[in-house]
Amino acid sequence: MSEGVTVNDINVGEISWRIVPGQEFLPSSNFLSGIELLVATFARENTCRLVLKVVRINDGIKEEIRTVERPASAFKDNCWHLFDFKPIPDSAGTTIYFYLESPDSNEGDALTVWANSSVAPPGCRMHMNHLPVPGSLCFKPLYTPLVDAAFKEEWERWAGSAQTAFAMVDGSRTEEDLRQRGGMVASVLKDALAIDSSHEVLEIGCGVGRISRELAPHSGRFTCVDISEGMLRFASRRMEHLRNVSFHSLSEKPLDEFPAFCMDRILSHLVFFHLPREQVFSYLKQVARLLAPGGACYFDTWNLAYPSTFQRWLAEVDMYRGKEKPKSYNRFCTRQEIDILVKMSGLRSVCVVESALLMYIVERAGTPSEASFRAPAPRTLKRMEEVALFYIGSDGSGKSSNAEGS
């Protein structure tokens, strides 16, 4: 492995003001977005903080560009832990130096990281107290492009005409179809999220504005984001009569540039099933950061456990056999998979409708019970099921549950 080390034989000692371990390496790709480290707790409960600082070195000039802080409670003994941060677009081939501090640790209340005393791949060099020493920390870099160029290219191609753009968002053939279907879904989501004129609303993956055009008149400020500038142009033209709507390309303004706690409601309809799990997880972490106190988010994805959806999955397996799949091909998930992503992203499920789609309403984890978002009424849950069945072309019945899945 040219830029990471996973085999360990020593730890660096208790990280404190006296012991500051670090690592120098040459990233192989752009968009460095995290460092995984093999952390140890000495099999005890610690109360200190661990701070990772990332420095870029150009021509001997050091520039601190990222800082990540974690409480001791975030770590398990002898386990890999990801320190993730905003992607560094031009990281490839640039010397990166990261180091760890623990400003409030004390003897017996401190963490450590594992290292290898003899292995140091090309471009890698361990440091101790900012001085080079033999060996390497155990680390694994993570790369996450802000926008997948090939994925974006597909959607720009489909946004080349109204006919293909409308068809890709929900199979609509005309503006009339688009408004009818968009209105149906917008009505359900308005009730499910209890949207009113005081709410700041964000739609992730707005496409041509099928939902937002019908929902924005019922909200306060409405923000539409999408990976495709072509889709956003259609959305902007379709909503030029609305004064409370703004449009942003995720290529130019990723979600991490929006301030924390700025959105009362967030929705993403028929989007996440086009994305790999790691991108869904990234979006959910942003949802947890963006939601204001008392806020809620709706999203959905294909439910592999639903009979009709399973048959659709089988049909698509046959369709792509021996062929290269498009970047935005349909992904199919189970509830157990999505539950894990929701929990680990810092969110809590308010309710889940299990039909042809898995339809989630979530809020930030740790929301006090008195401020918790109330699950939709049974009638609204039934309408959500009907929306899911509309897309699969089935007349079966789904089921809904509270956050505990009962």
The number of helices, as runs of H, and strands, as runs of E, in the chain is: 9, 21
CATH number at 51 reads 2.60.40
The answer to the question of residue 329 being in a domain is: yes
Domain boundary residue among 112, 143, 174? 143
Record the tokens describing residue 355, joined without a space: 């039909």
Residue 399, classed as helix, strand or coil, is strand
Is the pLDDT at 134 greater than 70? The verdict is yes
The answer to the question of residue 1 being in a domain is: no
- Mean pLDDT over all residues of the chain? 92
Predicted local confidence at residue 119, as pLDDT: 87
Distance CA 286, CA 280 (A): 10
Residues in the chain: 406
**Which of the residue ranges 64-73, 90-99, 144-153 would you say has the lowest mean pLDDT?**
144-153
Is the pLDDT at 299 greater than 50? The verdict is yes
Is the pLDDT at 397 greater than 90? The verdict is no
Domain boundary residue among 126, 143, 160? 143
Averaged pLDDT, 334-361: 96
Torsion, Cα of 156, 158, 159, 161 (10° steps)? 140
- Portion of the chain with pLDDT greater than 90, in percent: 80
Write the CB contacts of 240 (distance below 8 Å, at least 6 apart in sequence): none
- Cα 115 to Cα 25, 27, 40, 135, 398: the distances in Å are 14, 19, 11, 7, 51
Q: Which of 294, 89, 286, 293 has its CA nearest to residue 205?
A: 286
Residue 166, exposed/middle/buried by CB under 10 A (0-12, 13-18, 19+)? Answer: buried
Chain-centre distance for alpha carbon 393: 29
CATH number at 291 reads 3.40.50.150
The answer to the question of residue 204 being in a domain is: yes
79 and 194 housed in the same domain: no
Is the pLDDT at 146 greater than 70? The verdict is no
153 and 43 housed in the same domain: no
H helix or E strand, kind and range, residue 114: strand 112-116
Predicted local confidence at residue 342, as pLDDT: 97
- Cα 378 to Cα 2, 208, 300, 353, 382: the distances in Å are 55, 30, 18, 11, 6
Is the pLDDT at 1 greater than 50? The verdict is no
- Portion of the chain with pLDDT greater than 70, in percent: 95
Averaged pLDDT, 310-333: 94
Is the pLDDT at 96 greater than 90? The verdict is yes
The answer to the question of residue 5 being in a domain is: no
236 and 379 housed in the same domain: yes
37 and 126 housed in the same domain: yes
191 and 82 housed in the same domain: no
139 and 176 housed in the same domain: no
86 and 158 housed in the same domain: no
Is the pLDDT at 26 greater than 90? The verdict is yes
Domain boundary residue among 113, 143, 173? 143
166 and 39 housed in the same domain: no
The answer to the question of residue 382 being in a domain is: yes
CA angle, 301 then 304 then 309, to 5°: 85
**Owning domain of residue 223:** 149-402
Which of 3-7, 113-117, 167-171 is modeled with the greatest confidence?
A: 113-117
- Half-sphere exposure for 156 (CA within 13 Å, toward CB): 12
Write out pLDDT tens, residues 100-129: 999 999 999 999 999 999 988 888 999 999
Predicted local confidence at residue 367, as pLDDT: 86
- Assign 369 a pLDDT band (cuts: 50, 70, 90): confident
160 and 253 housed in the same domain: yes
- Assign 376 a pLDDT band (cuts: 50, 70, 90): very high
Averaged pLDDT, 179-201: 97
128 and 176 housed in the same domain: no
Averaged pLDDT, 72-98: 92
Write out pLDDT tens, residues 383-396: 999 999 998 864 33
**Which of the residue ranges 224-233, 272-281, 357-366 would you say has the lowest mean pLDDT?**
272-281
Q: How many domains does the chain have?
A: 2
Is the pLDDT at 176 greater than 70? The verdict is yes
The answer to the question of residue 4 being in a domain is: no
247 and 293 housed in the same domain: yes
118 and 189 housed in the same domain: no
Predicted local confidence at residue 405, as pLDDT: 39
CA dihedral for 70, 74, 76, 80, sign (positive or negative): negative
